[in-house]
Structure 1
Amino acid sequence: MAVQSGQRLTPARLNRIYLARKTVDESVVNNATVQDDDQLQVSVPANSAFRLRLFAVHTTPATPNLRIGFAGPAGVSFGRLKFEAGPNASLQVGVLAAGSAPSTGGVTGTGADSPLEVIGVVTTGATAGLIRFQWSQSVANAAAAVVRAGSFLELVQFD
């Protein structure tokens, strides 16, 4: 949603912003299958295109690491997603190819909190529904992978 100089930010334009914010830490232990985040998901309309931005603070030891991805309703397409990791982590995958299958990548942790940012484009098909951030451990392990409170998922519908 681009607002040009002199344009008004109207309620109609605000209705094109979809946000979810994590209010509590969430941990995953002994599970290497990506699962929907309890809070980072937004309901979006059908036949629409969106700019996606995820900002997630996570912590995980080097083992088990963090597997991340996105999923959506039937017919959803995720454009190339760009991942950037903070100073206490490194990426296992930097750019994910476009496709309708759930897109997953990974982050190697160090045991300290680290930010992760993902940007890209999401296009929904004929079915409305939830765009969901998904994550798990990369390797099932007793050491917890954690996504911290304050993380957020933002989708902005293109005009």
Structure 2
Amino acid sequence: MADPLWINASGGAPAYAANEMRQAMALALMYDGRNLGGRAGVRPGGTQLKTELSGSTITVRTGICLIDPALSTAQGPYWVALPADETHTLSAAHATNPRKDRVVIRVYDHDEDSSGLRLARSEYIVGTPSPTPSAPAVPAGAMLLADIDVPQSGGGSAVVTDRRQFTASNGGIVPVSAAGDISASVAGRYRHRLDTNQLERDTGSEWIPIAPLVRRKANDEAISNNTTLHNDTELFITVADPNTVWSLDVFLRVLSHPNADIKLKWSVPSGTVITWLDVNTSRTELRETDTLTVQTTGPAENISLRGTVSVGATPGAIRLQWAQSASNAGVTAVQALSWMQMQRLP
């Protein structure tokens, strides 16, 4: 039996324990695998709980976060506010070996961890010097904020790497730095990939982009007397996820001398396969190794390409290449407002 929140007491009941309150307030949090927990992380925005280094002074900025220690099945998560910047002193460099240090924010609750404390604070953890150093483990009840790589004495300055993960409310969109920041396991969750600027939905088994990836050409690009294929400076899309399949659509505004024409090809990562065609002139299927020559009449004209991209084990950039088909002093140009678009397929 449980006490629902916000019921007046009569004769001293119900009486709420702190953990009971934390459990019930997890309703507002993004689910992350624990029925009575929530996704740990920093609230997005500003410099919340960001670690900065100036000389030997480590500063952890003010901010708000959620910590879910999960020391027991019943332990509820903690809403934590750091009301003032906290500072630590960087440990001196080792004479001969580099070191990896860490900065965390940690909750202590004697009722759960027998620590004798009831507080939250940032902590600086000094690693062990080694020719190939490893970062120290994150303690129970703590969340990683940053790594600090400390070179050996005389080897240069220490470098801070931001390791904050972010959280969001239940039903919200959580920002993530990379694909591995949150695994696909709960259908209906959403994340914003900061590395690819993609919005993705959790299907329960994988993350699927909601919107297509689009690149628009902002400037005209022109060549002459040149039949060597080159990468278009703007028409490329970088795919971050291996072993995925995408639709491909391209719209080109082309200006070329009728004696030069234009040829098109793709540059792709190893293992990627493209099947594509020129929608306007051909039903013949081409592959990523094929070159398409399009005859031009002189005035500006449009070329539409369509296809499917199968990315292999090595993701990367899908780049349009082009050149004159026959060398000519006249200008061949791919003009502004050309674009390419890729949409992840199930």
TM-score range, shorter chain: 0.7 to 0.9
Q: 1:28 aligns with which of 220, 223, 239?
A: 223
Uncovered stretches (5+) of structure 2, i.e. residues with no partner: 1-187, 191-198, 202-208
Provide the residue aligned with 2:268 in structure 1. 72
Please give the secondary structure, in 1, of the residue aligned with 2:200.
Answer: helix
Q: 1:123 aligns with which of 302, 305, 310?
A: 310
Q: Percent identity?
A: 26
1:42 aligns with 2:231: no
Alignment root-mean-square deviation, CA = 1.9
Contact 2:277–2:286 (CA under 8 A) maintained in structure 1: no
Instruction: Write the mapping of 1:1-159 to structure 2, written as runs, cut at 5 A.
Output: 11-12=199-200, 14=209, 17-44=212-239, 45-79=241-275, 81-85=276-280, 91=281, 95-98=284-287, 100-101=288-289, 103-159=290-346
Contact 2:230–2:321 (CA under 8 A) maintained in structure 1: yes
Mapped partners of 2:271, 2:210: distance in 1: 23
Offset of residue 16 of structure 1: 5.4
Provide the residue aligned with 2:196 in structure 1. none
Q: Normalized per residue, which structure has more strand?
A: 1
Contact 1:96–1:105 (CA under 8 A) maintained in structure 2: no
Offset of residue 15 of structure 1: 5.1
Please give the secondary structure, in 2, of the residue aligned with 1:95.
Answer: coil
Please give the secondary structure, in 1, of the residue aligned with 2:279.
Answer: strand
Mapped partners of 2:200, 2:273: distance in 1: 25
Please give the secondary structure, in 1, of the residue aligned with 2:312.
Answer: coil
Amino acid in structure 1 at the alignment position of 2:262:
L
Mapped partners of 2:343, 2:212: distance in 1: 5
Mapped partners of 1:59, 1:76: distance in 2: 30
Mapped partners of 2:228, 2:211: distance in 1: 32
Mapped partners of 1:148, 1:94: distance in 2: 25
Contact 1:96–1:104 (CA under 8 A) maintained in structure 2: no
Q: TM-score, normalised by structure 2?
A: 0.39
Amino acid in structure 1 at the alignment position of 2:259:
T
Amino acid in structure 2 at the alignment position of 1:151:
S
Amino acid in structure 2 at the alignment position of 1:82:
L
Please give the secondary structure, in 1, of the residue aligned with 2:291.
Answer: strand
Q: TM-score, normalised by structure 1?
A: 0.81
Bigger relative contact order, structure 1 or 2, given CA contacts below 8 A and separation 6+?
Answer: 1
Mapped partners of 1:19, 1:109: distance in 2: 26
Mapped partners of 1:77, 1:16: distance in 2: 22
Q: Which moved more, 1:23-32 or 1:12-21?
A: 12-21
Offset of residue 94 of structure 1: 5.2
Mapped partners of 2:270, 2:210: distance in 1: 23
Please give the secondary structure, in 2, of the residue aligned with 1:132.
Answer: strand
Please give the secondary structure, in 2, of the residue aligned with 1:38.
Answer: strand
Please give the secondary structure, in 2, of the residue aligned with 1:116.
Answer: strand
Please give the secondary structure, in 1, of the residue aligned with 2:306.
Answer: strand
Alignment coverage as a number of residue pairs: 142
Amino acid in structure 2 at the alignment position of 1:33:
T
- Where in structure 1 do 4 or more consecutive aligned residues deviate above 3 Å? 13-16
